[in-house]
Structure 1
Amino acid sequence: MLPGEGPEEAVCSRKGCRAAAAWELLWNNPKIHTPERRKVWLACDEHRDWLEDYLKTRSLWRDTVRHGQPAASEGR
Structure 2
Amino acid sequence: MVAQYTIAGRQVGSHVVRRLLPLAMITLGSMAGISFLATGGEKKSKEQGPPINATSKDEENFIQEFIKNAEASGTAKH
TM value normalised by structure 1: 0.25
Indicate the structure with greater helix content. 2
Bigger relative contact order, structure 1 or 2, given CA contacts below 8 A and separation 6+? Answer: 1
TM value normalised by structure 2: 0.25
Larger-Rg structure? 2
